[in-house]
Amino acid sequence: MLGVMKRPMGELELIDRIREGAGRRGGAGVALGIGDDCAILRLPKGHELLVTTDLSLEGRHFRREWHPAESVGHRALARGLSDLAAMGAKPLAAFLSLGLPREMMASRAGLRWVDGFLRGLGWLAEEVGVPLAGGDTSEAAGEQVLADIVLVGSTPRGRSLRRSGGEPGDLLYVTGTLGGSAMELAELRDGRRRRSGEHPHLYPAPRVGVGLALVRRRLASAAIDLSDGLSTDLGHLCRESRVGAEVWEERLPVTAGANLEEALHGGEDYELLFAAPAKVRVPRSIGGVAVTAIGRLVPGRAVWMVGPDGMRKALRPRGWEHFGGSRAKAPGSRAGKPR
Ligand code: ADP
Ligand code: MG
């Protein structure tokens, strides 16, 4: 309940609100959640912990004028869940550190934004069954919102998927379709808001179930999630696996309405890219999510795109760059900041 706030909401009140919405489902791994100095987690027997952190900065990863508050909360959690999915981990608990501008804590609109953020995060947490088990809260020094999410997950010991396990000859697969996030971001930037249908940019679906299935069924030799863009993330997988790759242009599952540039370089689709030995039978769909063979790993270090005519050209990483400008090069005319 919001009411009219005469003074800035205090940290305790905010934590109480967060605690109310923290979600009690799926908390088997959390022996002690919000409220004490530390959370206490329980690891299933024979499992090991995986930890990932993701920083979401206003102006850098989202804009309040483009992204509804619910989307900012959803996306902040989705990024971490996608990292867990990439390694085949089961999510155990999430931790949220928030830096909020003073004016936001003092105004009705600001409080509505915070509530929206927590709601969006809560929806996805509920869907995936990951409890919010703690965090930290502070007034931001400036005008911008900062949200840092830590996710903790587990896999049976030694069974997590790595970027480094690929071998020449392995086939390459992606889940879902690519380019939808960049396409929707371009629409938002141009002030065209979708009324209905899918929202691959505002509400991406991290592939937690697929990651778990890949581990359980021992299908993948290597995996990564597509956060920065296929061209960039495939480069990461190849570097860690010390291999090259070829991507078959005709086989790429491009989101309806998106273009090839967006599919290759747009990023933020949060699909999984994985390799599997050619002799492994990989299903065409896992838990209702499409899985498409898009190429293979090859000896050497070069990454190639093979066109419909069989011609090869180099596939250079042109996705998201974390420093020094948003991208190495703008992918087509439609994509833009922020990511
Ligand atoms: P301390 O000062 O001991 O670090 P805090 O007063 O910051 O503790 O936090 C009190 C409790 O509220 C802790 O359990 C902490 O994890 C939780 N908490 C604080 N901020 C957040 C947040 N943004 N999201 C979730 N839990 C939070
Ligand atoms: Mg303390």
Collect all residues with Cβ–Cβ distance below 8 Å to 10 and sequence separation of at least 6: none
- Give the global pTM: 0.91
Listed in sequence order, the residues at least 6 apart from 20 whose beta carbon sits closer than 8 Å to its beta carbon are: none
For a substitution probing ligand 1, which of 11, 17, 19, 34 has the most ligand atoms within 8 Å of its CB?
Answer: 34
For residue 328, the model assigns a pLDDT of 36
Give the pLDDT score at 194: 83
Report the atom number in ligand 1 closest to the C-alpha of 134.
16
CATH of 11-156, one of 3.30.450.20, 3.90.1150.10, 4.10.520.10, 3.30.1330.10: 3.30.1330.10
Q: For 212-258, write each residue's pLDDT tens digit.
A: 999 999 999 999 999 999 999 999 999 999 999 999 999 999 999 99
pLDDT score of 179 more than 90: yes
Q: What fold is seen in the domain 163-314?
A: Phosphoribosyl-aminoimidazole Synthetase; Chain A, domain 2 (3.90.650)
Ligand 1, closest atom to CA 34?
14
Residue 336 pLDDT > 50:
no
Find the farthest-apart pair of alpha carbons in the chain and give their distance in angstroms, rounded: 68
Backbone angles phi, psi at 40, to 5 degrees: -120, 125
What's the pLDDT tens digit per position in 68-107? 999 999 999 999 999 999 999 999 999 999 999 999 988 9
Among residues 157, 120, 117, 149, the alpha carbon closest in space to that of 133 is found at: 149
Residues whose beta carbon lies within 6 Å of some atom of ligand 1: 15, 18, 34-37, 96-98, 132, 134-137
Among 177-191, 197-211, 324-338, which is the least confidently predicted range?
324-338
- Listed in order, the ranges of the chain carrying CATH 3.30.1330.10 are 11-156
Task: Indicate the pLDDT class of residue 2, thresholds 50, 70 and 90.
Answer: very low
Q: Kindly report, as residue ranges, where domains of CATH 3.90.650.10 are found in the chain.
A: 163-314
Q: Is the pLDDT of residue 263 over 70?
A: yes
Specify the ligand 1 atom closest to the Cα of 132: 25
Instruction: Indicate the range of 9-18, 43-52, 78-87 predicted with least confidence.
Output: 9-18
In DSSP terms, which residues pair with 292 in a beta bridge? 174
